[in-house]
Chains A and B, each alone.
Chain A
């Protein structure tokens, strides 16, 4: 058991995560700090003296006065106030060699604590490339701290850094001094130190400025952003199809195995129709989510994401949000759950809450199966100009969702999340090549988190819904389908009067009940309501025929409009509860989304009926 604990602390963009990945490799533990949802990343650090220390990567922050829940964890950890956590035995302060003036200010603040500390002078290669020479010995002497030059992405300076950490462990004082200080004085001291230890020879290479000339150009910038988003969504749909086919085939093979091994009892139905098809329906989105995350990680690590936030800020400001909200909202196109988790970087609480509340309006990949079936059934495959009508309707649903989110944000900011206009103040880091090791570790951790959820909460919910949809069984020879006879069917029938005014029939009302677990389950549920058998593709195909025969066009359009807003994802509501610390906001979210879905579906139904 490791008794030694060292913590990585530093400004955002100091290359802290790269250094952490390089020091600990892929054997990292990702969990949560007790009581808060901030991610806790730690790994094993082998010291040259043979001891093993635990290294924890604290959230990046500019100072010990936190502005977001993430940054509060960093402060509480170094002060030893974080519940359930030990105070670290030593601090590794990571600073960017190309931005000494600002990063040294934080080192000076941390130094006041009196904790044993070593400074990792990271990205020295970039400083050299910019013609900046740093006198490391002099810097170490002035600070009174060991300073080790490192290049995390090229694994330079790692052994030297570990060698400096070793002797520090076990030398911490019993009590810490207060880090409180006048920030202006620290700033000035940092500037003097930075100017003393650096010498400029030759001109800096200004790659970042050249690239920003395009990325932040008033005309070219937005066009570039649109082009990047277009390529991203195209890739998500184009490249995910094949692996999704493999996952579907794998699940079907498992189901066939179960059918071959078990007699036709409730147990087989539970495994096949409950567990495998329920969890399978979620796991099948893994390829899409991974591709989307790959893009998001690339955009984040290269430094472009902040430029996108800059370009989008004016539009977001119009509805009372902040450019930073763009990043979580973009993730929500894959799945609202990681999107909602990504709102932790937004410092203003009202701003963050609004972003959480509108995140489910971004068209997540779970809505696609529903859209695909309804569009195939009711929208003719003709062309409008150069574009297919079906594709245009799909695009229209995405746009409808985004527009709905903007309207909702505007309304929320004026009512329930009313507060002062949030400020937008953001550092634009220099552009960097993404590091394959960091991308790999990032994707691996996100895939793990997604699969864990599919195996936990979603599994439980699908089993409960399976039971509701399977029992009680209709008597032998009955004409009603088993689903209509079951508890879920009865709940659906009871709900029918609520949905009749917006053009939904009894079958839809019944399908909405099991569809509560996850949106895509509604397709399978409709298949069951119409008593269709076979695998998912067959069901989808024959379902298209069946729906064409039994739904009117206004009903189909109303159903699409419903799904743009419908709050039908228990996993999202569960995450909102965790992130907001209670049932109040998930309940509010459910009610407001339900109301929006109801109004949108109703309006669509009646307008379509009047026109067609």
Chain B
């Protein structure tokens, strides 16, 4: 499964599952507060100067910065694939 980390700059996708964060309910809640949710469209905007960490994403109508470690726990699917599935 691809995660947010695999997105190239300018690439869009749809969040499939907030996984891996596991039992850390607080972090999951924070992600939801920042607009992350299944089915929400994301777009990779920028990557940090060293090792591409942290990264900045557009999540819905908001831009959010987060570290690679956290981004790797959010699974995505191609924007087009999601649109087909929804039909």
Q: Within 8 Å of chain B (Cβ to Cβ): is A414?
A: no
A403-443 residues at the B interface, CB under 8 angstroms = 421, 423-428, 430
Q: Within 8 Å of chain B (Cβ to Cβ): is A45?
A: no
Binds B, one of A94-102, A240-248, A325-333, A474-482: A94-102
The closest CB in chain B to the CB of A225 belongs to B49
Provide the residues of chain A in CB contact with B64, threshold 8 Å: 425-428
Query: In the complex, what's the smallest C-beta–C-beta distance from B55 to chain A, in angstroms?
Result: 9
- Are B67 and A101 in contact, with the CB atoms below 8 A? no
Contact with A along B30-53 (1 / 0, CB 8 A): 111111010000000111111111
Provide the residues of chain B in CB contact with A421, threshold 8 Å: 69
- Are A217 and B46 in contact, with the CB atoms below 8 A? yes
Query: In the complex, what's the smallest C-beta–C-beta distance from B66 to chain A, in angstroms?
Result: 5
CB within 8 Å for A424 and B66 given contacts A310-B54, A310-B56, A314-B49: yes
Contact with A along B8-33 (1 / 0, CB 8 A): 00000000000000000011011111
Q: Within 8 Å of chain B (Cβ to Cβ): is A208?
A: yes
Query: In the complex, what's the smallest C-beta–C-beta distance from B85 to chain A, in angstroms?
Result: 17
Q: Within 8 Å of chain B (Cβ to Cβ): is A394?
A: no
CB within 8 Å for A314 and B53 given contacts A100-B61, A102-B61: yes
CA distance A313 to B31 in the complex (A): 18
Provide the residues of chain A in CB contact with B67, threshold 8 Å: 313, 317, 423-424
Query: In the complex, what's the smallest C-beta–C-beta distance from A564 to chain B, in angstroms?
Result: 27
Q: Within 8 Å of chain B (Cβ to Cβ): is A453?
A: no
Tell me how many residues of A have a C-beta within 8 Å of chain B: 41
CA distance A425 to B60 in the complex (A): 16
CB within 8 Å for A425 and B66 given contacts A183-B32, A184-B32, A187-B37: yes
Most buried by B among A102, A314, A421, A425: A425
A44-98 residues at the B interface, CB under 8 angstroms = 62-63, 65, 67, 98
Q: Within 8 Å of chain A (Cβ to Cβ): is B63?
A: yes
- Are A183 and B33 in contact, with the CB atoms below 8 A? yes
Provide the residues of chain A in CB contact with B66, threshold 8 Å: 423-426
CA distance A310 to B32 in the complex (A): 20
Q: Within 8 Å of chain A (Cβ to Cβ): is B62?
A: yes
Q: Within 8 Å of chain A (Cβ to Cβ): is B72?
A: no
Q: Which label, helix, strand, loop or mixed, suits the secondary structure of the B interface?
A: mixed
Q: Within 8 Å of chain B (Cβ to Cβ): is A216?
A: yes
The closest CB in chain A to the CB of B18 belongs to A184
Q: Within 8 Å of chain A (Cβ to Cβ): is B70?
A: yes
- Are A423 and B70 in contact, with the CB atoms below 8 A? yes
Contact with B along A199-227 (1 / 0, CB 8 A): 00000000011001000111101100000
Q: Which label, helix, strand, loop or mixed, suits the secondary structure of the A interface?
A: helix
- Are A428 and B27 in contact, with the CB atoms below 8 A? no
- Are B61 and A306 in contact, with the CB atoms below 8 A? no
Q: Within 8 Å of chain B (Cβ to Cβ): is A188?
A: yes
The closest CB in chain A to the CB of B54 belongs to A313
- Are A323 and B35 in contact, with the CB atoms below 8 A? no
What is the total of A-B residue contacts with beta carbons within 8 Å?
A: 109
- Are B65 and A310 in contact, with the CB atoms below 8 A? yes
Provide the residues of chain B in CB contact with A101, threshold 8 Å: 35, 60-62
Provide the residues of chain B in CB contact with A100, threshold 8 Å: 61
CA distance A466 to B23 in the complex (A): 58
Residue of A65, A216, A217, A309 near B29 (CB, 8 A) is A65
- Are B60 and A63 in contact, with the CB atoms below 8 A? no
- Are B29 and A183 in contact, with the CB atoms below 8 A? yes
- Are B48 and A313 in contact, with the CB atoms below 8 A? yes
CB within 8 Å for A314 and B51 given contacts A183-B33, A216-B46, A424-B67: yes
Q: Within 8 Å of chain B (Cβ to Cβ): is A381?
A: no
Provide the residues of chain B in CB contact with A424, threshold 8 Å: 54, 65-67, 70
CB within 8 Å for A428 and B50 given contacts A62-B34, A183-B29, A216-B56: no
Query: In the complex, what's the smallest C-beta–C-beta distance from A107 to chain B, in angstroms?
Result: 13
- Are B56 and A314 in contact, with the CB atoms below 8 A? no
The closest CB in chain B to the CB of A221 belongs to B49
- Are B48 and A102 in contact, with the CB atoms below 8 A? no
- Are B49 and A222 in contact, with the CB atoms below 8 A? yes
Residue of A62, A222, A314 near B54 (CB, 8 A) is A314
Provide the residues of chain B in CB contact with A426, threshold 8 Å: 64-66
Query: In the complex, what's the smallest C-beta–C-beta distance from A549 to chain B, in angstroms?
Result: 49
- Are B46 and A212 in contact, with the CB atoms below 8 A? yes
Query: In the complex, what's the smallest C-beta–C-beta distance from B61 to chain A, in angstroms?
Result: 5
CA distance A67 to B24 in the complex (A): 14
CA distance A426 to B70 in the complex (A): 12
Provide the residues of chain A in CB contact with B54, threshold 8 Å: 310, 313-314, 323, 424
Provide the residues of chain A in CB contact with B53, threshold 8 Å: 313-314, 317
Q: Within 8 Å of chain B (Cβ to Cβ): is A36?
A: no
Residue numbers of A with Cβ under 8 A of B are 62-63, 65, 67, 98-102, 105, 183-184, 187-188, 191, 208-209, 212, 216-219, 221-222, 306, 309-311, 313-315, 317, 323, 421, 423-428, 430
